[in-house]
Structure 1
Amino acid sequence: MIQVCLLKDGKLLTGGEELLGHEGRKWVDVQQPTEEKMALLTERFGLHKLAVEDCLHLDQRPKLEEYPNHQFIVLQGFTVAGKDVCELTLHEHHFFLAHDWIISVHEFPFAGLDQVKKRVMDDPRATLERGTDFVLYMLADGLVDAQFPLLDTFSDELEDLEAAIFERVEKSHLQRIFELKRTLVMVRRVLSPQRDVVGLLSRRGIVHIHDKTTLYFRDVYDHLVRLYEQIDASRDIVGNVMDGYLSMVANKTNDITKQLTIFSTLFLPLSFIVGFFGQNFEALSSKGNYYAMWVMIIGFPVGLILWFKHKQWL
């Protein structure tokens, strides 16, 4: 699907492939790119074949590349596929930027991109008329801002997991910790190089990026720095949660060992007493010895329990 927003003589026209041949400032959005779609755009806008090849293989690293008549930018982001914060969908967006046109290529629908479309259609003079680089800024900003709710949900999950571990530790907690850790590593691996790309866009001297637009890219760069700091904080929390889990498991093991040791200590003198008075000696069969045996059987455990409490072992 190819959608075109064309600004011509102050009027915004929207439609499909029939607007590609018209003159004016354009934003072309391509969802689910195919060789046929990209060949059509390559013929019309002179896209470089290496950049087009990258668009057809959605496994690129965030980057900024300069070609003879356009810039090629790759940015990425995540959305949560379901209720589980670890079920992430990677959104890889490719952008071709020139002076009078911008082409955005992506595989999946994205809410932030739809919001930018609505903003352009509602007020084309304040968006598309300001330049194609400003449209790129809005798309990058929407992609980056969508990560804040995701990381907030991630932090809430870690806090709930930490509270659950200290309340009652379970084996399933360890598996969840590793799932969150893997997800956090994946997010960090994507957003880390993206910070460098936006940092380049925020500098002056980049072709097709006006000096006034670099100020807006600085804001996106600041958001990425905040995201990166939040990721580092979450990594520390994951480490604390893991330490808490191991501590609770060790304490539980020590508590079980202590209880078993106490039971063994209580039954050790009882075994001696029963074995001693159970010997086949005629002198021990008197009634007094019978009562003495039961007094020792009851007295020894009670005395040991009182002694354990005195030592604060119980």
Structure 2
Amino acid sequence: MDISINIKAKKTIEEILITRKNLILLNTIFKPQLRLFHKFESGEIKGFVDNMEDYWGNILDYYQKIWDMVEDYEELIKGFSQTFDSLLTNRTSEIMKILTIFSATLLPLTFLASLYGMNVSLPFAQDPFVFSMLSAIMIIIVGLLLLYFKKNKWL
């Protein structure tokens, strides 16, 4: 199930990126044309038949509506991107939390195992029950750490 979700998420991200690219392209195309139509409407640029202000005004209104739609879509895509980034950050945070709990649980066990694995004389090293005691201590440490993590609502 995770694989299908990841594939859908990847396709959605690709579609968002393509849409974002297209919106940037539309902005690049429409922005200079809007300025040009403003100049045509105001009569700043001459060379056309008189009484064209209404015609240029209609074109300018049409372009302005398109420009507003493009800006609205840009805001929408920006919101999608931010939402996706938040979800990705949250997922990464959850993974890091699990890895940290795993590491914190194994650290004391590794320390005890490596301490009694050295070729030096240690207290209780000759005791026949040292393996059982160390195993019990390790189980208690893991249990206490798991209780601590649950108490702090990390698990």
TM range (shorter): 0.5 to 0.7
Conserved? CA contact 1:177–1:238, under 8 Å: yes
Root mean square deviation, CA, Å: 3.6
Q: Deviations over 1:163-183 (max 9, x none)?
A: x99xx854972x544433321
Measured in 2, the distance between the counterparts of 1:202 and 1:176 equals 37
Distance in 2, matches of 1:171 and 1:304, equals 41
2:125 alignment partner in structure 1: 281
- Cα offset for 1:197? 4.1
Which has more helix, going by share of residues? 2
Change (3 A) 1:281 1:210: closer
> 2:104 maps to which residue?
265
- Tell me which residue corresponds to 1:25: none
Segments of 5+ residues of structure 1 without an aligned counterpart are: 1-163
1:273–1:296 Cα contact (<8 Å) kept: no
1:296 to 117, 125, 137: 137
**Sequence identity percentage:** 20
Q: How does 1:57-76 map to 2 (within 5 A)?
A: none
**Aligned residues between the structures:** 143
AA at the equivalent of 2:91? K
Following TM superposition, by how much is the alpha carbon of 1:203 offset from its aligned partner in structure 2, in angstroms? 5.2
Q: How far 1:303 moved relative to its partner?
A: 1.5
Q: What SS class does the counterpart of residue 285 from structure 1 fall into?
A: coil
TM-superposed CA distance for 1:209, in Å, is 4.9
Q: Partners in 2 of 1:191 and 1:285 — Cα distance?
A: 84
Q: Which amino acid aligns with 2:139?
A: I
Q: Which has the higher contact order (CA 8 A, sep 6+)?
A: 2
Give the equivalent residue in structure 1 for 2:68.
229
Note if 1:310 corresponds to 2:154: no
Does residue 208 of the first structure (1) align with residue 49 of the second (2)? yes
Q: Which residue of 2 aligns with 1:192?
A: 31
1:246–1:253 distance in 2 versus 1, CA, 3 Å:
same
Structure 1's 296 and 217: CA in aligned 2 closer, same or farther, altered over 3 A?
Answer: same
| Contact residue 266 and residue 304 of structure 1 kept, 8 A | yes
One-letter code of the match for 1:256? I
CA 1:169–1:304: 2 relative to 1, 3 Å: farther
Distance 1:281 1:194 in 2: 86
Structure with higher strand content: 1
One-letter amino acid of the counterpart of residue 254, structure 1: S
> Structure 2 residue aligned with 1:248, among 87, 107, 110?
87
CA distance in 2, matches of 1:272, 1:200: 77
Structure 2 segments unaligned to the other structure (5+ residues): none
